[in-house]
Structure 1
Amino acid sequence: MRLFQKIFFLLQAQTSHGLHSPSVFNLYSEVINPILQKRISKKIKTDELIQGISQYYAQEIDSGEVFPLVIPRLSPEIYQQIDQDLLPKAQFNSILFILNPYETTLSQDIWDTLVDDPRVIHSIDLFDMGILRFNPLASKQHFMLKKSYT
């Protein structure tokens, strides 16, 4: 099942070509793709992505700091906490990292629900990690990004 999800994801996802958001283009080119290109363990790659993306957004916003929160696994109980406690309090400098959003059919359904939530302004899907941001001044956008093979 996960193999079919990965194939479907790869058919939909894009690289830097066609990204119309300058911010996401720069994030992809400067942080995400260079880390995805590395031949390192999944754990180290995940840690580097979280750190690199957090640092990128910290430089991009006025306050200079972001508040990342990492959710290792989605479940109905975790979704309820996100929906009732985190999303109402999320600010422009909050980042929610969801690890393994496609781990199960249930986690994928929860991920899709979060992406569709109007409080989530930017969502970036890397298949093994989902990233949610909450800047109310931006327009809602969803990006599916994959490693560039150039």
Structure 2
Amino acid sequence: MTPALKMLKGKPHRTLEYAHDPRAPAYGEEAAQALGLEPARVFKTLVCQLEGGNIRQSLVVAVVPVTGTLNLKALARAAGARKAALAAHDAAERATGYVVGGISPLGQKKRLPLWVDDSAMTLEEIFISGGRRGLEIGLSPALLCQLANGRFAPLARED
């Protein structure tokens, strides 16, 4: 049981598993296809580095649909920073306790500030990584934000 699943004990959610292909180029899209999920409901977890502005924490987490890409300027604006960039893989893994491709916004080793793309607010259920490759969790966006002290903001742009 991953730390993310431990956080959800007794809370409404569902767990879905699939056989992860190590050759898959994109983890979120692989999950959507393997599980037969609508890609706009599958969200990827991205650890980012902030610089400048009114920030208290330099590493943060952004959760956006796999159908789009993270708008780094929008994340910086939402977080009150001057600039945002994707964090190095080793920094993301150290801070969260998860491996890249299996980073969950829940149950991280070091609780990082969380922003969720506001498109999630229109959905009853979204899917996020369960803390390892091949494990997805379905839950309400409101529950995700409640458990991780997250905030909604317009973060994604469609590919």
Higher strand share: 2
Quick check: TM above 0.5? no
Higher helix share: 1
Higher relative CO (CA 8 A, sep ≥ 6), structure 1 or 2? 2
